[in-house]
Amino acid sequence: MNVDKMHLLEESVTELPPPLGGRVKAIGFGVGILGLASASVLGYLQEDHYTRFSFSYLIAWAFFLSITLGALFFVTLQHVTRAGWSVVVRRLAEGLSSQALLMALLSLPLIVPLAMGNHALFSWADHGAVEADHMLHHKAPYLNVGFFIARCVVYFVAWILMARFFFKNSLRQDGSKDPALTLRSERGSAPLMFVYAITVTFAAIDFLMSLEPHWFSTIFGVYFFAGCLVSFFATLILTGLWLNSQGVLRGAIHVEHYHDLGKLLFAFNFFWGYIAFSQFMLIWYANIPEETFWYLTRQEGGWITVALLLIFGHFIIPFVGLISRHAKRRTKILAFWAIWLLAMHWVDLFYLAAPALASRLKDGALAAGTLPLGLLDVACFVGVGGMYLAFFAVTMQKKRLVPWGDPRLNESLNFENA
């Protein structure tokens, strides 16, 4: 039923041209090192034992981690469902998911100080606080430094090995075109989905929910997961469009694929809204103080602006903006919404993490309701982002940017939104 369209690939550039890759690497490393260095200096100048730095860094790190985890889910899902349409974009997703290794390295500035007794981020790591607080004492079997680090090791090992498994199979297939490798990935994908669900859930609880260790929500893992998918689809769309603009993969990733990616971006943003609403509405309605305090701090002063920004900017406005077929098929409009939603995803992480900062600083250092925004956030974002970009270019160099040997490659090239 599919016409042979492999010529589309043969006529187009399917590798990252070395000068282009080199330029990306240079810019990425340059900006990354500059960003991280200035972040450390700015963090030192705060004279708060790197507390502000830790929060800003955590938000930036979680932002790029969520893209990576979204990519990992996407790759796994494509194998679970034996998807055909997405083959041409899968290699880029494999490359993004392989940044799990980089994210593990970049987690060291969060984990090493914790291991050395710094409790800038997590109040549960402070022995004095745990002694004085019955609730923290109750949670200590889970929220303690040793177990936390052990869990981090498990998460990163799981994600790195998972990403490697799919990436290696796919790369080996470039040469051999062996369908058995597809079968191998498919067989592995379903059980690995379980590993994914459990690790992502607990990682979200550990790194974000436990910033305010008294608070709890059973849906929190799903909430973080929804954000991962939104940021990933936005990133994938932008990566594809940027490559196309540089003359790479022009015939391969075409408007039909962008249309579908746009639908998924729309759908998962809707899903994010659904999960966010469920969490908020149930806590608001039941009105139990042990849960509502979390939302209450997020309605004080400047935080209400952030909350409203999320409702309108993350959910309602992009919902209207992305609903039409026209918006998803015009690449400029689609790119606009992808950038918009990435920005909103950062705001979302800021909203999750940063309100805990006030309680971690000395009394009065940060008035309640003040948004702790500053150059430090920019420096951390640029620093982690630059490294992410550079390592992504390193991962993709000298490799095909499409799964060249995938048996469903032609099906993907033929794909049309009927």
Site residues, another protein (CB under 8 A): 1-4, 82, 84-85, 134-135, 138-139, 142, 179, 182-183, 186, 190, 194, 197-198, 201, 216-222, 270, 274-275, 278-279, 281-283, 285-288, 290, 407-408
Minimal distance, residue 356 CB to another protein, in Å: 17
Q: How far is the CB of 193 from another protein (least distance, A)?
A: 8
Which lies closer to another protein via its Cβ, residue 135 or residue 373? 135
Q: Which is nearer to another protein, 8 or 33 (CB)?
A: 8
Angle, CA of 40, 46 and 48, to the nearest 5°: 100
**Residue 221 vs 372, nearer CB to another protein:** 221
Query: In the complex, what is the shortest distance from the CB of residue 77 to another protein, in angstroms, rounded to a whole number?
Result: 11
The count of other CB atoms within 10 Å of the CB of residue 302 is: 14
Of residues 56 and 410, the one with the C-beta less far from another protein: 410
Task: List phi, psi (to 5°) of 323.
Answer: -70, -30
Cα separation, 226 vs 232, in Å, equals 10
> Distance between CA 249 and CA 87 in Å, rounded?
13
Whichever of 28 and 227 has its CB closer to another protein, that residue is 227
Among 240, 244, 196, which Cα is nearest to 97's?
A: 196
Torsion angle of alpha carbons 106, 107, 108, 110, nearest 10°? 130
Alpha-carbon span 218 to 306, nearest angstrom: 23
- Which residue, 23 or 138, has its beta carbon nearer to another protein? 138
Contacts 24+ apart (CB under 8 A), 360-369: 360/51, 360/55, 360/120, 360/121, 360/123, 361/48, 361/51, 361/52, 362/48, 365/48, 367/301, 368/297, 368/300, 368/301, 369/300, 369/301, 369/302, 369/303
Rg (CA), the chain: 22
Name the amino acid, one letter, at 309.
L
**Count of residues making up the chain:** 418
Q: Which is nearer to another protein, 83 or 111 (CB)?
A: 83
Q: Which is nearer to another protein, 116 or 194 (CB)?
A: 194
Give, as one character, the DSSP assignment of residue 260: H
Instruction: Calculate helix-pair angle for 51-80, 375-396, nearest 10 degrees.
Output: 40
Q: 29 or 295: whose CB is closer to another protein?
A: 295
Give strand pairing partners of 36: none
* CA triple 76-254-80, angle to 5 deg: 15
Whether the CB-CB separation of 160 and 100 falls below 8 Å is answered with yes
Output 118 or 278, the one with its CB closest to another protein: 278
